[in-house]
Amino acid sequence: MTLEDDWAPLGARAPTDLAETRLAAHWAAQIPAAAGATLAEAKEDHSHTSLSWSKAHGALVGVALPDGRRAGLSLADLALVVLSDDAVEARCALAGLTLEEGLTWLAAQLGGAALRRPALGRPAHDLPAHPAEEGAPFEAGDPGAREELARWFGDASALLEGVSRERGASPVRCWPHHFDIATLLALDVLDEGGGERGDEEARSVGVGMTPGDGRYAEPYLYVTPWPYPAPAALAPLPLGRWHTEGWVGAVLTGTELVGESQPAASQRFIEAAIRACLTALGAD
């Protein structure tokens, strides 16, 4: 199956109209992430708190817990799900519930796995401001915007799975801190031990999609080299632009992407940006 076969057309809602939906989903995603953070085996890279996209369920789904079940968030209806053998065992719409009520519901559903730790603690990191932080219930919101957000994650997952497969990059994960979905192409290992270098010196290229943040109030694709090279070392891109304020990376905004042939444009941007990053890092 090609990316074109797997791609759901974007643009039914303008990318700039998704901010409120994205913020609610970002906070709601902390609930399934809490299951991994509390119950799964801890990993040094915090991947036990990460989520991945399930096309079958239209959901961001956490890692497998000790009893094999997985907790997730269905984006199109902002509902918590518990999966067992990839089938939905339980579902709970979050509209009208607070963050704590969502955590309590999920802890009750995972009673067997959570027997010794009945309270689920969400990952400790700063999040963008949202009423859920102050105990306000989640709102029903705009169904069309939620469906569009789900399409963004689904398409990004399909795109990034291809990058991971072809480039030998890391598994595609959604990170609950920044709510981006990404893969990492690690370029360096230690000379003798064979392990990866420390984060400060190991070269890498991150490839992902974020549904929006404090700098861009819309979804965008990104490719980021590490360590950050001088802007002058970055080759021109066929589409998108180089972001160089605060961090360095190639960016293709949702507004730009929806006006293109989307699957082809996304691949063209990603491949050109990866090549430019590899060249700038001396790894081409």
Do 130 and 176 reside in the same domain of the chain?
A: no
Same-domain status, 149 and 271: yes
Q: Do both 86 and 198 map to the same domain?
A: no
Q: Check pLDDT > 60 for residue 173.
A: yes
Paired strand residues for 220: 210, 253
Q: If you average pLDDT over residues 147-172, what whole number do you get?
A: 98
Q: Are residues 95 and 155 in the same domain?
A: no
The number of CA neighbours under 13 Å toward the Cβ of 271 is 9
The yes-or-no verdict on residue 204 having pLDDT over 90 is yes
Residue 234 phi, psi (nearest 5): -95, 125
pLDDT class of 1 with cuts at 50, 70, 90: confident
Residue 7 within a domain: no
CA distances from 65 to 69, 100, 108, 114, 172 (A): 6, 21, 14, 10, 18
Q: Regarding beta strands 241-243 and 220-226, do their DSSP bridges make them parallel or antiparallel, or are they unpaired?
A: unpaired
Query: Among 189, 193, 201, 242, which residue's Cα sits nearest to residue 220?
Result: 242
What is the pLDDT, as a whole number, of residue 119? 82
Q: 21 with 40, same domain?
A: yes
19-48 mean pLDDT: 97
pLDDT digits (tens, 9 = 90+) for 81-125: 999 999 999 999 999 999 999 999 999 999 854 445 558 999 989
Percent of the chain's residues with pLDDT above 70: 94
pLDDT-derived band at 201 (thresholds 50, 70, 90) equals confident
pLDDT given at position 117: 53
Task: Render pLDDT for 29-38 as a digit per residue (tens, 0 to 9).
Answer: 999 999 999 9
Domain boundary among 134, 169, 203: 134
The pLDDT value recorded for residue 199 is 60
**Residue 5 domain-assigned (yes or no):** no
- d(CA 26, CA 133) in angstroms, rounded, equals 11
For the ranges 118-132, 139-153, 241-255, which has the lowest average pLDDT? 118-132
Say if pTM beats, i.e. exceeds, 0.85. yes
Same domain, 61 and 123: yes
List the domain range (segments joined by +) for residue 59: 13-134
Rg (CA), the chain: 19
Structural domain total, the chain: 2
Both 29 and 119 in a single domain? yes
Return the number of other C-beta atoms located less than 10 Å from residue 253's C-beta.
19
Residue that the structure tokens 């082809």 belong to: 264
The band of 23, judged by pLDDT with boundaries at 50, 70 and 90, is: very high
Note whether residue 6 is domain-resident.
Answer: no
Residue 212 has pLDDT above 80, yes or no: yes
Query: Looking at the structure, do residues 122 and 203 belong to the same domain, yes or no?
Result: no
What is the percent of the chain with per-residue pLDDT over 90, rounded to a whole number? 90
**Average pLDDT rounded to a whole number, residues 43-48:** 95
Residues 194, 130: one domain?
A: no
Residue 264's pLDDT is 97
- Inside any domain, residue 212: yes
Range 257-279 average pLDDT? 97
Token output for 185: 């192409």
Q: Is it the case that residue 253 has pLDDT exceeding 90?
A: yes
Beta-strand relationship, 87-93 and 173-175? unpaired
User: What average pLDDT is seen over the chain?
Assistant: 93
Boundary-marking domain end, from 134, 162, 192: 134
Indicate if 122 and 194 belong to the same structural domain: no
What average pLDDT does range 165-171 have in this prediction? 97
124 and 162 inside one domain: no
Return the pLDDT at 195. 46
Answer yes or no: is 4 within a domain.
Answer: no
Domain edge (last residue) among 103, 134, 165: 134
Per DSSP, the residues of the chain read --HHHHPPPP-SS-GGG-HHHHHHHHHHTHHHHHHHHHHSPP-TT-GGG-EEEETTTTEEEEPPPTTS-EEEEETTTTEEEEEETTEEEEEEE-BT--HHHHHHHHHHHTTTTTTT--SPPPP-------GGGGTPPBP---HHHHHHHHHHHHHHHHHHHHHHHHHT-PPPEEETTTTEEEEEEE----SSS-SPPPTTT--EEEEEEES--SS-SS-EEEEEEESPPPGGGSPP-SSSEEE-SSS-EEEEEHHHHHTS-HHHHHHHHHHHHHHHHHHHTT--
- Residues 173, 212, single domain; the answer is yes
The answer to whether position 203 is within a domain reads: yes
